[in-house]
Amino acid sequence: MRCYRLVMRCAADDGGRVTAPADDVTITPHRSQYAVGEVITCSAQGYPVPEVRWSRDADDFTVPESNLTVTDEMIGDGNGWTCTAQNELNVVPASMSVEFTVVSGTCWCVSSLLSVVRAGV
């Protein structure tokens, strides 16, 4: 069982809109294999709108935006990446990780037991 502390407040300077820390981080598409040129997108819920960034698990390399483009340089690397989302209300950033391999060209990736999707160019 997970316990979460949810902080919400009404901000008078924001038209009374309910504010909430960043949470519900989603990576799309979320697979174990990507082709060079594909874009992996990270999103999160929260208000004010959370800042989203990607960081490579192996070092301090960071992509300060929600889209991570798969490049040739990622081929052969153990690609562990973490997407982090945070706004001014987060005490601890919300995050989600993905481990993947990269192939060049076109690949067919099984995304579930029921469907197969074409990835790449």
Q: Taking the model in full, what pTM does it have?
A: 0.73
5 close to 17: Cβ distance less than 8 angstroms: no
For 35-68, the pLDDT digits (tens) are: 999 999 999 999 999 999 999 998 889 999 999 9
- Would the pLDDT of 87 be above 70? yes
pLDDT tens for 104-116 read 865 555 444 333 3
Residue where the block lists tokens 């004010």:
48
Cis peptide upstream of residue 48 (ω within 30 degrees of 0): yes
Q: What is the structure's pLDDT at 2?
A: 41
Q: What is the pLDDT of residue 104?
A: 80
Pairing assessment for the beta strands 79-86 and 67-69 based on DSSP bridges: unpaired
- Tell me what pLDDT residue 89 has: 96
Q: Where are the beta strands (DSSP E) in 13-78?
A: 18-28, 33-35, 39-47, 51-56, 62-63, 67-69
Mean pLDDT calculated for residue range 72-83 = 86
* Of 55, 113, 59, 115, residue with least CA distance to 81: 55
pLDDT bracket for residue 97 (50, 70, 90): very high
Name the CATH code of domain 22-119 (choices 3.20.20.100, 2.60.40.10, 1.10.510.10, 3.40.1640.10): 2.60.40.10
